[in-house]
């Protein structure tokens, strides 16, 4: 993004995102930085790259890198593009590894994309499994298991499409899937409410194992239980991304400017972006990492070592725990 001087600028931090909130001091001892691996999946043009820059509050991917408009009509095979950003959130250092997947869903047959993502996720588990079995551990081993997959749903206003259902059903046992509605400012508030309801109905009906915020049994405090109930009711998160910053009463505000008004990315009346950012990088970063290790990886490991199917392995383990419960209909 350019300002008036023509210099590259950072995407200004949101004032809302940096408010210190209860429960946000859980991982302060990670001096080296807490690694957190997030994959972004969604069809072309849904705002994945803009989301990445908005999430990181800087231009991780520049406009020039982002769009090659002359070649945009040519469907290219899906790729895995890695970006690593060091961030500090409320005193906690995070090494955020983002894996973007341009090309997903661009072809007529998407079987290959599903397979490629599944293979990618499983190969990270295989690396950990191999490392666990080594007699002498590699102290520099980098754990690249994906802790969260943010899945962008097209804002059609109808319901989930086949590609969404297939994608989330197949990969929900391999990664914490967080469904979001991309470019959600294209729907009116009423349309958005109805769209969210239809999506959650589909998720329940098709038994799609998306990440669901723990509903209380193991939770220590009432505040967390309430917070999780609120987050469950908010799903899927309505996301708006932007790289433009305006000055409002002396503070930087990230906005999408339209002739008829402006959408403020961090305003919770306009989008769920700020809440989702807080969930990912603050309040639920521990839950997402723990569930990846203790439930998803354990399931894969059992399955791999015993040659069992997912269903058998889940039975042996008493099913996936909290995170895999079907998200309840809002
Ligand atoms: N209305 C609206 N437009 C958005 C939003 N986020 C991004 N855009 C616009 O949508 C277009 C595509 O955004 P990108 O971030 O490049 O989308 P992408 O998913 O990375 O696209 P590919 O990498 O080409 O698959 C750009 O013109 C963005 O400015 C949003 O939240 N709302
Ligand atoms: Mg992109």
Domain boundaries, the chain: 31-66+75-134+141-324
Residues with CB under 5 A from ligand 2 (ion): 49
Mean pLDDT of 267-284: 95
Nearest CA to ligand 1 atom 12: 45
- Residue identifier of the C-alpha nearest atom 7 of ligand 1: 47
Label residue 76 by pLDDT band (50, 70, 90).
confident
Q: How far is Cα 8 from Cα 23, in angstroms, rounded to an integer?
A: 35
User: 217 CA distance to ligand 2 centroid (A)?
Assistant: 39
The distance from CA 187 to its chain's CA centroid, rounded to whole angstroms, is 21
Q: What is the distance in A from the centroid of ligand 1 to the CA of 181?
A: 12
Distance CA 105, CA 43 (A): 5
Q: Which protein residue's CA is at the shortest distance from atom 25 of ligand 1?
A: 44
> Of 278, 301, 328, whose CA–CA distance to 22 is shortest?
278
User: Model's pTM, two decimal places?
Assistant: 0.88
| Residues in a beta bridge with 35 | 95
pLDDT band at 224 (very low <50, low <70, confident <90, very high): confident
Tell me the CATH number for domain 31-66+75-134+141-324: 3.40.50.300
- Could you tell which of 41, 50, 54, 186 is best to mutate to test the pocket of ligand 1, judged by most ligand atoms within 8 Å of the CB? 50
Cα 46 to ligand 2 centre (Å): 8
Q: Which is the closest atom of ligand 1 to the Cα of 241?
A: 31
Ligand 1 site, residue 45, Cβ cutoff 6 A: yes
pLDDT band at 307 (very low <50, low <70, confident <90, very high): confident
Per-residue pLDDT, 45 = 94
CA–CA separation, 106 and 145 (whole Å): 25
Q: Are 237 and 275 in contact (CB under 8 A)?
A: yes
Instruction: Return the percentage of the chain with pLDDT > 70, whole number.
Output: 78
**φ, ψ dihedrals at 52, nearest 5°:** -60, -50
- pLDDT average, residue stretch 131-154: 94
- Asked whether residue 318 carries a pLDDT value surpassing 70, the answer given is no
Per the structure block, which two tokens stand in for 44?
């072309």
Predicted confidence at residue 240, as pLDDT, reads 97
Distance, CA of 270 to CA of 273 (rounded, Å): 9
**pLDDT average, residue stretch 244-272:** 92
Mutate to test the pocket of ligand 1, among 98, 105, 183 (most ligand atoms within 8 A of CB): 183
Ligand 1 pocket test target in 98, 184, 241 with most atoms within 8 Å of CB: 241
In the structure, what pLDDT confidence band is assigned to residue 2 with cuts at 50, 70 and 90?
very low
Q: Alpha helices, DSSP H only, in the chain?
A: 48-56, 63-66, 111-132, 162-171, 189-205, 222-234, 273-278, 285-291, 298-306, 310-316
Angle at alpha carbon of residue 12, lines to 10 and 14, rounded to 5°: 150
For residues 53-79, average pLDDT: 78
150 CA to middle of ligand 1, Å? Answer: 15
> What are the pLDDT digits (tens) for 206-222?
999 999 998 766 656 78
Q: Looking at residues 49-71, what average pLDDT do you find?
A: 82
The residue whose CB lies within 8 Å of the most ligand 1 atoms, and thus the one to mutate among 47, 99, 103, is 47
Q: Does the beta carbon of 79 lie inside 6 Å of ligand 1?
A: no
The least confident of 71-75, 90-94, 141-145 is: 71-75
62 C-alpha vs ligand 2 centroid, how far in Å? 10
Q: What are 229's two structure tokens? A: 């109930």
Rounded Cα–Cα distance for residues 210 and 173 (Å): 9
34-42 β-sheet, strand order: 81-89, 92-100, 34-42, 148-153, 177-181, 237-238
Nearest to 179 by CA among 52, 202, 114, 259: 202
pLDDT grade for 3, boundaries at 50, 70 and 90: very low
Cα–Cα distance for residue pair 196/313, rounded to 1 Å: 32
Average pLDDT, the chain: 86
Q: Is 103 left (phi over 0), alpha (psi -120 to 50) or beta?
A: left
């Amino acid at each position: 993004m350019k300002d008036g001087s023509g210099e590259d600028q950072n995407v200004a931090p949101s004032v809302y995102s940096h408010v210190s909130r209860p429960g946000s001091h859980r991982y302060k001892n990670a001096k080296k930085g807490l690694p957190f691996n997030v994959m972004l999946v969604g069809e072309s043009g849904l705002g994945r790259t803009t989301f990445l820059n908005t999430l990181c509050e800087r231009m991780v991917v520049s406009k020039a890198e982002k769009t090659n408009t002359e070649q945009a009509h040519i469907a290219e095979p899906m790729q895995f593009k890695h970006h690593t950003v060091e961030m500090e959130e409320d005193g906690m250092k995070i090494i955020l590894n983002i894996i973007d997947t341009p090309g997903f869903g661009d072809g007529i047959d998407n079987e290959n994309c599903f397979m490629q993502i599944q293979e990618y996720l499983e190969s990270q588990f295989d690396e950990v499994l191999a490392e666990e079995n080594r007699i002498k551990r590699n102290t520099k081993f980098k754990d690249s298991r994906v802790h969260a997959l943010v899945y962008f749903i097209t804002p059609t206003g109808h319901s989930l499409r086949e590609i969404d259902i297939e994608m989330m059903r197949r990969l929900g046992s391999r990664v914490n899937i967080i469904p979001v509605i991309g470019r959600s400012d294209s729907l009116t508030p009423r349309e958005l409410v109805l769209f969210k309801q239809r999506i959650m109905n589909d998720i329940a009906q098709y038994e799609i194992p998306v990440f669901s915020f723990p509903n209380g049994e193991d939770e220590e405090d009432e505040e967390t239980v309430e917070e999780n109930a609120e987050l469950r009711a908010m799903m899927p998160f309505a996301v708006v991304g932007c790289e433009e910053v305006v000055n409002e009463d002396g503070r930087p505000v990230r906005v999408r400017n339209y002739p008829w008004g402006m959408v403020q990315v961090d305003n919770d009346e306009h989008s769920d972006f700020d809440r989702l950012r807080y969930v990912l990088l603050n309040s639920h970063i521990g839950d997402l990492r723990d569930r990846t290790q203790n439930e998803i990886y354990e399931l894969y490991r059992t399955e791999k070592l015993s040659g069992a199917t997912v269903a058998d392995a889940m039975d042996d383990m008493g099913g996936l725990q909290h995170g895999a419960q079907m998200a309840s209909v809002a």
